[in-house]
Amino acid sequence: MLESAQKWELFGYDMRNLGRHWLGAWRSLLWGHDSPIRQRFDDVVCLRRERSEVYYQAGKRSDATGTIYSAILLPEALVLSKRLDLPAAVEEDLEAVLALECSAHSPFSADDTSYGWHIAYRDESKIGVALAIASKSSAMAYLVSKFDAHDPRQQEVWAQIDGEMVVIRGFGEGLREGNYKKRLLRVAAMVAVAALLIASIVGVAAGLKALELKRVEEMAATTEIESQDAARLRSSLGLANEMIVSANEIAMAYPNPHIEISRLTHLLKDGEFIQRFTIKGLDVNLQGGAADAASIMQRLAGQPEYAEVTAPRAITRVRGSEGENFYLNIRLREAPLQ
């Protein structure tokens, strides 16, 4: 049995109760006392006391006036109030739980018991409920003696618990609840019509876009057929560009040395010579001799074509003569061939 029950659990939730949770969420959204929808669409009620009148909407004080709905506030002596701390999981079955609570703890007979409740607070683990229990006969005796109200269906009966208003059921609250339900149905019908219109607009737009897409596809097919020669030429041009790029890479990796040899020939003076010359890409390596090798390095470093001139090895003097051997690395500023 435990293994069978675990098959219905997802992230700790019993999926068999998913429908009940869904209905409970909608019921709380539409009928809860703190629901923003109810605060917007519920009717204003004139709450009557023995010496004053106050207007309420969805259990909250309101500045509106001129309503057809009235309620009478029972004195505290006629109301039994109780605070209940219940697990949050029972909120979907709160009606049944409170009915059992009233039947178990009401001092009045079942036919004479009327009650109402209000959710005072809620958190992730529990909810706090303010429960009010009253005797129907005692409440009617109070209505007749203080307000000359003989029909229990003509006005609502409220109780106040810790500053919060609670509707005692079994009196005239059905008129307002029925009107609120009709208003919800009208709003739902308007939303459904608006959704249908939006769906129709989206459908028409989608149909037009489908026709436009079909025309574009036909044009694309025609253009593709007509542009086959251009595609072949474009492919050939791409291959030619690849060959040019490859040729340029080869030219950069193995440039023509004659340009640099010619430039060095003009830069070297009499008595200055190069014994070894190598070039690869932008790098030129020289080995040579001169009477003043440092002046050669300085002269080459001042050329705008050379980005950098360095000596990887120290200048050495030739034994038995006044000449010097030099080793230079030259970094060209740009490729010698394009």
Q: pTM, whole model, 2 decimals?
A: 0.53
Domain contains 227: no
**What is the pLDDT at residue 201?**
93
Between CA 228 and CA 145 the distance in angstroms is 100
Please indicate, yes or no, whether residues 157 and 272 belong to a single structural domain of this protein: no
Domain that holds residue 48: 18-171
Task: Give pLDDT, residue 34.
Answer: 63
Q: What's the CATH number where 320 sits? A: 3.30.1360
Whether 267 and 161 share a structural domain: no
pLDDT (tens, 9 = 90+) of the chain, 338 residues, equals 445 545 556 655 555 655 655 555 656 666 566 676 776 778 899 999 988 899 998 878 888 888 889 999 999 999 999 999 999 888 878 888 999 999 888 999 999 999 998 888 888 889 999 999 999 999 999 999 999 999 988 889 999 988 888 999 999 999 988 888 888 888 889 999 999 999 999 999 999 999 999 999 888 888 878 778 777 888 888 888 888 888 777 766 666 788 888 888 888 888 888 999 998 888 899 999 888 888 888 999 888 888 999 999 888 888 877 788 999 999 988 654 44
CATH of the domain at 125: 3.30.1490.300
From 105, 136, 171, give the residue that closes a domain: 171
At residue 152, the pLDDT reads 87
At residue 6, the pLDDT reads: 53
**Residue 81 per-residue DSSP state:** E
Query: Do the domain assignments include residue 64?
Result: yes
Report the pLDDT value the prediction gives residue 338, as an integer from 0 to 100: 45
Structural domain tally of the chain?
2
Asked if the structure places residue 49 within a domain, the reply is yes
Q: Do 164 and 39 belong together in one domain?
A: yes
For residues 116 and 167, the answer to whether their CB atoms sit within 8 Å is: yes
Please tell me the predicted confidence (pLDDT) of residue 2. 45
